[in-house]
Structure formats: structure tokens, C-alpha cells
């Protein structure tokens, strides 16, 4: 059960939308075409607003049509209707394209048209955004799990092509299709984790922990604040996390539920050092102005992590999409200000559930490492 929205945009010569009469002629011609596709169409309101004409229609099955003609020649047509679970669509994609063709053929004023795919609204979320805030539509057909915790909204949805996908606060995080994400984050084949001591900051989906344990490290400590994420992934995302979230400790790993910064502070006090620290927390903001508080958090994580790394240690993290080069550059600037000085490399990989290429960063000390 959902609301279906059909959006069509038109363009006409601005000279045809300069007078009340031309507005009326154009709107009447469009209305005549609509009547062939929408039974019971009738006008319920017509008014002018800031140099544009707006007409609102209703039709059978509770359909609402919003037609707006702007004085610059832009015309928008929005059709909303409710579709029950067993109901046939009022207008299929094929019908909406036929409507577009008829409008262009029969309304001679229209020179250019664009019909967007039908939007499905009011059901489990199918639309997410890229790192630079464009809309992505997924073939999600089921909401598998949902719970709001003190920290975030946790969802697991099912995609026909990507499998189950973890979504936190309406942002896609990882799907069963995304082994490349984890392998690029850990630089599999380029780094040697055998007998190493490792900390994961975040990583509640368990994918990184699961893959690292295959490399025979000495110990992996995972610091995750949200127990609900781990329990949900242990049940519904087992293809990426295996059984590592079933128990919060094992022969060479342990999971600490809590604020990772408090654990880092404790390690600093103890003088404890690690070979690798993974930042598997939030992505970097898309710009410095986008979230000053989040950038401050990211910078603090960097500084604290450097204090618990061995001189030969590395900090490994994910950044954002390649479509946001300004954010990647901003992160680089934070790295360049770190003391002691660090060097860094970056890698990238196309992540299936992100539907875009993602940037990953590897940070190490330039010289002998931090002072003891």
C-alpha cells in the first residue's frame, strides 16, 4: 500500500505564457489530454500565484492532479493516487509515457517534455541519497527489521539485487553485496594482520571484524556503542558477519559496547599501543561547513588514535564518495596538521549498495612515530 506519484515537466515558449488568455488556452489543452487517461477528472481550484497559474483537479480513486504553468514557460504536472496492495496501478509506467507522448503531440505549445519514473511513497523507504545528496532508488521489497535506539534509527531492508542492507538514520551503510567495501577498507592483500593487535572504532555490522579474524591477528577489540545494530546484524546479516556477533568475545577478539572515545582515553592513560586502528564510524561531511561538530569529532578521533598507535602502526578509515572531492580534500588538510606528522595514501572502490565509488584512507607516521 503506497501513494504513487507521477511527475511530468514541460517547456513552452515563454511568449505563450504572458497573458491570462494564453494561460487559459494552454491549461485547457492539457486538461483535455488528461481526461483521456484519468476518469472523472474535474477542476476543484484555479488561482494565480507569483506570476504562475495553478489548477488542481481530482479524479477517480482519490487522484489529485496539480498543474502549474509558470510565466517563464515551465509547466509541471504532478499526479498523486493511492494504490492498495492488491490494486492495479492507476497509471503504469507505460501509460505515463503514453500521456507524455499525447501531451507533446496534441498540445502544440509544448516543445520539450520529461517524465520521471513513478515514485512510490509512504511505504518502506526505497529512496536514499548519494554522498553529494542526489537521489538513489533501490529495488527494496521488504522491511526486515526496524528499531529506534537512543543513538539512531536502525533498519535492515531487503533489496532484490543487493540482499539485506543495513540502514542507519536513513543512510545506507552496508549490504550483503558489499565485500569490496570491507576488503578495500582493510586493504586486503596489501596489509599483513597476522599476530597484530587491532582496534575497530564502530563496525557494528561485524563485517570488518569477521574478515580481519580470517587473517589470524593476535587480538581485535571492537568498540561499538549500539548493541541493537549488532544484534540485528547477527540475525539478518550473517553472510557478512558470520557468527562473530553471537558472542562478544572469542579466542582472539572482544567486543566492548560503549563510547569508543572513552576506551581510547583509557588506552592513552595506560600507554597501550596497537598495530592498526580502524575508523569505521561516520562518513566525513560533504563540506567543512556542512557539520562543524562532526568535523571536530572526526579530528579528535584522528588525534586520539595517533596516541595509541605503535610507531609502525596505521589508521585505516573510509571517507566519502568520489563525487565529493572537497570533503576528501578537507580530510587531507586535517591529516596535514597532525602532530607528529603523518603520511597517507588513498584508495577507492565502487561499492554496490552505495551505487557510487567510495574513498578510503590509510594513515601512518612520517618518521619514527609519536613520542613515548
3-state secondary structure 334-349: HHHHCCCCEEEEEEEE
Bridge partner list, 10 = 75, 113
Omega within 30 of 0 (cis) for the link into 340? yes
Q: Is 152 helix (H, G, I), strand (E, B) or coil?
A: coil
Q: Is 132 a catalytic residue?
A: no
Q: Which three cell numbers stand for residue 15?
A: 511568449
Q: Which of 178, 226, 275, 280 is the catalytic position?
A: 280
Burial (0-12, 13-18, 19+ Cβ within 10 Å), 260: buried
Q: Which three cell numbers stand for residue 59?
A: 479524479
Q: How far apart are CA 186 and CA 184, in angstroms?
A: 5
Q: Which of 327, 332, 366, 326 is nearest to 346 (CA)?
A: 332
**End-to-end distance of the chain based on CA atoms, in angstroms?**
62
Q: Is 180 helix (H, G, I), strand (E, B) or coil?
A: helix
Is residue 125 within 8 A of residue 314, CB to CB? The reply is: no
Q: How far apart are CA 190 and CA 271, in angstroms?
A: 28
* Number of helices (H), then strands (E), in the chain: 9, 21
Kindly list the distances between the CA atom of residue 155 and the CA atoms of 146, 149, 168, 259, 365, in Å, as whole numbers in the listed order.
4, 11, 6, 21, 38
Is residue 140 within 8 A of residue 124, CB to CB? The reply is: yes
Segments of 104-246 assigned E as strands = 110-115, 119-121, 127-129, 135-137, 140-148, 153-159, 163-168, 171-175, 197-202, 219-224
Q: Which of 344, 347, 267 is nearest to 309 (CA)?
A: 267
Q: Which of 276, 281, 268, 263 is nearest to 226 (CA)?
A: 281
Q: Which three cell numbers stand for residue 156?
A: 535492515
Bridge partner list, 208 = none
Which positions are catalytic? 280
Amino acid at each position: 500500500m503506497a501513494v504513487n506519484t507521477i511527475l511530468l515537466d514541460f517547456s513552452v515558449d515563454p511568449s505563450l505564457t504572458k497573458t491570462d488568455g494564453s494561460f487559459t488556452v494552454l491549461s485547457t489543452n492539457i486538461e483535455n489530454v488528461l481526461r483521456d487517461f484519468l476518469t472523472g477528472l474535474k477542476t476543484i481550484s484555479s488561482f494565480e500565484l507569483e506570476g504562475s497559474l495553478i489548477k488542481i483537479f481530482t479524479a477517480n480513486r482519490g487522484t489529485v492532479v496539480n498543474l502549474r504553468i509558470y510565466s517563464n514557460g515551465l509547466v509541471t504536472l504532478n499526479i498523486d493516487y493511492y494504490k492498495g496492495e492488491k490494486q492495479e496501478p492507476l497509471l503504469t509506467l507505460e501509460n505515463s509515457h503514453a500521456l507524455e507522448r499525447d501531451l507533446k503531440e496534441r498540445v502544440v505549445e509544448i516543445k520539450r517534455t520529461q517524465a520521471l519514473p513513478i515514485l512510490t511513497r509512504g511505504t518502506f523507504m526505497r529512496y536514499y541519497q548519494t554522498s553529494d545528496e542526489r537521489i538513489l532508488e533501490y529495488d527494496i521489497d521488504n522491511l526486515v527489521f526496524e528499531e529506534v535506539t537512543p543513538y539512531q534509527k536502525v533498519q535492515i531492508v531487503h533489496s532484490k539485487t543487493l540482499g539485506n542492507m543495513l540502514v542507519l538514520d536513513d543512510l545506507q551503510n552496508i549490504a550483503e553485496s558489499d565485500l569490496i567495501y570491507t576488503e578495500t577498507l582493510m586493504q586486503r592483500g596489501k596489509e599483513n594482520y597476522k599476530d597484530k593487535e587491532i582496534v575497530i572504532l564502530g563496525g557494528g555490522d561485524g563485517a570488518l571484524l569477521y574478515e580481519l579474524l580470517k587473517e589470524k591477528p593476535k587480538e581485535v577489540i571492537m568498540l561499538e556503542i549500539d548493541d541493537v545494530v549488532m544484534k540485528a546484524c547477527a540475525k539478518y546479516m550473517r553472510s557478512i558477519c558470520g557468527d562473530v556477533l553471537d558472542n562478544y568475545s572469542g579466542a582472539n577478539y572482544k567486543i566492548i559496547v560503549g563510547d569508543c572515545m572513552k576506551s581510547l582515553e583509557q588506552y592513552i592513560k595506560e600507554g597501550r599501543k596497537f598495530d592498526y586502528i580502524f575508523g569505521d564510524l561516520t562518513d566525513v561531511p560533504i563540506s567543512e561547513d556542512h557539520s562543524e561538530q562532526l568535523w571536530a569529532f572526526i579530528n579528535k578521533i584522528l588525534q586520539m588514535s595517533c596516541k595509541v598507535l605503535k610507531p609502525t602502526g596505521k589508521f585505516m578509515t573510509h571517507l566519502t564518495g568520489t563525487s565529493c572531492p572537497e570533503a576528501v580534500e578537507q580530510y587531507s588538510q586535517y591529516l596535514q596538521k597532525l602532530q607528529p606528522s603523518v603520511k597517507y595514501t588513498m584508495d577507492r572502490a565502487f561499492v554496490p549498495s552505495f551505487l557510487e565509488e567510495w574513498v578510503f584512507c590509510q594513515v601512518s607516521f612520517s618518521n619514527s612515530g609519536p613520542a613515548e
